[in-house]
Structure 1
Amino acid sequence: MTEEALASRIEALGLGPFREEIIESAEACLSVTTSRDESRPCEIGSSKIGGDPDLPADLEWPRASENSLHFIAQFKLSELPPIASTSLPSVGMLYFFYDMNGQHWGFDPEDGEGHRVLYSECETGLSRRLPPDDIANDDAVLECHLQVAKSFSLPSDPPSGVSFEGDQAQWDAYFELTEGSHQLLGLPSEIQNPMELECQLASNGLYVGDASGYQDIRAKALEEGATDWRLLFQMDSDDDAGIMWGDGGMIYYWIRKQDLAAKRFEKSWLILQCY
């Protein structure tokens, strides 16, 4: 979506009086659209969601303590459209894995073993890897071709200077405008609450499934670091891929900006939100 297309959509939804404020709050991202075609398998090394991953020989399939993780998606970085202010490597493969049986929510420090993001500089010499024996076929995400395009993401709450003054139609229109799907980078399409502080505390050993972690004496010193967290990839529930997260929710892979710049993708954190 171009800025002109975003402006047109804002007008079409009746939010024209707030166009400038909304556009100013937008952040560049990459929208990811799936399509499924069983007669045409994805090429080895291409960007895709689901199926079996295309891995270099020296990259091991990631595991949690008791089971292998499920393959979610892979992206060929050299083919992604460039967007401003991105720290993604320009070359290589980025792989996303998740424990689909456990479906960890991300509020427990122990949830860190339930996902993994792997990076390889190799884009050639890859081979399609069958999953380990402890992953059943009916657990798999169905293979989908991807179309990745430049777009804009918006904050889940109206930006500063925008007040709908109880106008439910405008609130509904803004919700429709910000409703997202699969996406790399940018602002998340939040279903529940903001996730940055949750990532910061849980990844640093505090349980935030209730108020205890936020009230912990260590939380105050950690709070400032919440602003370092950035959305890396969000994956929506998807009929084409045969997957639903919770009750029609999303999974969000987050990473600190320092770790993204240093290619420390193993330091990512995952949050699951649903309705």
Structure 2
Amino acid sequence: MCAERQEKRQEPLRNMSKALPRTRDALRASLGDEDLPAEIVERLAAQALPALLLTTAALGENRPLPGASRLGGTPDLPPGMGWPMRPPYPDAERRAAGHRKDARRLLEDSRKPRSWMTPEQGVMFSQERMAKADATERPFPLAFFGQFDLAALSAIEGFDPLLPNTGRLLVFYDFWEQPEDFTPEAAVGWRVIWDDSPRDLLTPAAVPMDLETISSDDWTTIFAPALISAVPVVTPIPMSERGWDAFDLKDEDLREVYGDWLSQFGTPDEDGGENHQLGGFPRPLQNGLQATSQLASHGIYCGNGDAWKTPEAQALLKEAGAWRLLLQVGVDLNAGMRGPGAYYVIIRNEDLAARRFERARVTYQCD
């Protein structure tokens, strides 16, 4: 788990990265400047995937049209659809016990000499952990990450043709709990919805009181509304992708050259970086995005190495390449998403084709 954001607010990272290639020719030319054989350059250029780079701007005083793409704010929902709630976690007993243990530790640490907390802060942080423990054991509203107008976005070059070209994609996530991607029970902690309701039926939903209660000026689960714009990009394949075949990854020299080239585009947790994507290849902060989702979605806890070695896991991992990026959301100061880390919404090809968005998974990663 990453640094505790409720206890120490993260400062935004500085953006030192270059822009992602806007065309396949630009990607090929950039790779051609590296010490890579021509056939490898061509393979990498061929494997790169088009995507939509999503950038944001502060909303200001005027509310956009119902269903318009944005991060944060409140969702536009059709009649009869309430704000998504998760049930109690199936492993709530374990989660609650961990939070209560942390609550006691924080209280004790705040009373030690030279503690980074004052005793008053220790009491506050301890109470927050106790409240989080209680929340895992009861139904609780999911935080709203954003909605994405597929009808409008589909008119832009780079839109994934496997996505619907009507309706909206809405993403909700248990931002308070940050459920682990390697735990099957975590799947109740997010909701990905494709809503194809007529736009004139949509109305803005009210923020649930439970989310209001746990939010403050220093930390929040209610993000500021930020309008989304999209431009085409071409995304290079990461070396962790299951379909990788451009060169033998045991070749350390080639790994270093390509890894250094990839690093110039930065990571999605940079302040001011190109952090959000619809489709394409992700820029993962950790390895195992596809493989972990494949095992956890089949009920296998894969938080330790032993789980990966079982015959069942080995058989399932053969199909891990069927998972693809649906959406990547990183740091965004316009929406108040300060990080650290980024969120990856991924889905199997067959589920995307069948419009089974409820089977998508949301993975949180950080360095």
Contact 1:10-1:177 within 8 A present in 2 as well: no
Q: Which runs of 5+ in 2 are unaligned?
A: 1-21, 88-138, 269-274
After superposition, give the CA deviation of every residue in 1:219-246 in whole Å (9 maximum; x if it has no partner): 133222312211111111222221134x
- Note the C-alpha offset of 1:206: 0.8
CA distance in 2, matches of 1:62, 1:254: 19
Equivalent residue, structure 1, for 2:260: 172
Aligned: 1:229 with 2:302: no
Compared with structure 1, are the counterparts of its residues 174 and 223 closer, same or farther at alpha carbon in structure 2 (3 Å cutoff)? closer
Distance 1:79 1:173 in 2: 33
Match of 2:70 among 44, 48, 70: 48
Q: SS where residue 73 of structure 2 aligns?
A: coil
Higher helix proportion: 2
Residue 18 of structure 2 corresponds to which residue in structure 1? none
Q: Quick check: which has more Rg, 1 or 2?
A: 2
Amino acid at match of 1:174: L
Equivalent residue, structure 2, for 1:256: 348
1:142 equivalent among 224, 230, 236? 224
Q: Tell me the number of residue pairs that the alignment of Structure 1 and Structure 2 aligns.
A: 271
Q: 1:164 to 1:91 in 2, by over 3 A?
A: same
- The 5-angstrom pairing of residues 1-275 of structure 1 reads 1-7=22-28, 9-10=30-31, 14-15=33-34, 19-65=41-87, 66-80=139-153, 81-83=156-158, 86-124=161-199, 125-136=201-212, 138-157=220-239, 160-161=246-247, 165=253, 171-177=259-265, 179-180=267-268, 181-245=275-339, 248-275=340-367
User: Structure 2 vs 1, CA of residues 10 and 56 (structure 1 numbering), >3 Å: closer, same or farther?
Assistant: same
Q: What is the distance in 1 between the residues matched to 2:72 and 2:160? A: 28
Contact kept, 8 Å, 2:172 with 2:192, in 1: the verdict is yes
Shift in Å, 1:156: 2.0
SS state at 1:42 partner: coil
For 2:193 and 2:158, the matched residues in 1 are separated by: 22
Please give the TM-score of this superposition, normalised by the length of structure 1. 0.88
Q: 1:270 to 1:5 in 2, by over 3 A?
A: same
Q: Post-superposition shift, 1:174?
A: 2.7
**Would the aligned equivalents of 2:267 and 2:285 in 1 still touch at CA under 8 Å?**
no
TM normalised by structure 2 equals: 0.67
| Structure 1: segments with no counterpart, 5+ residues | none
Contact 2:169–2:195 (Cα < 8 Å) also in 1: yes
Query: CA shift at 1:87, angstroms?
Result: 1.2
CA distance in 1, matches of 2:359, 2:254: 41
CA RMSD of aligned residues (A): 2.5
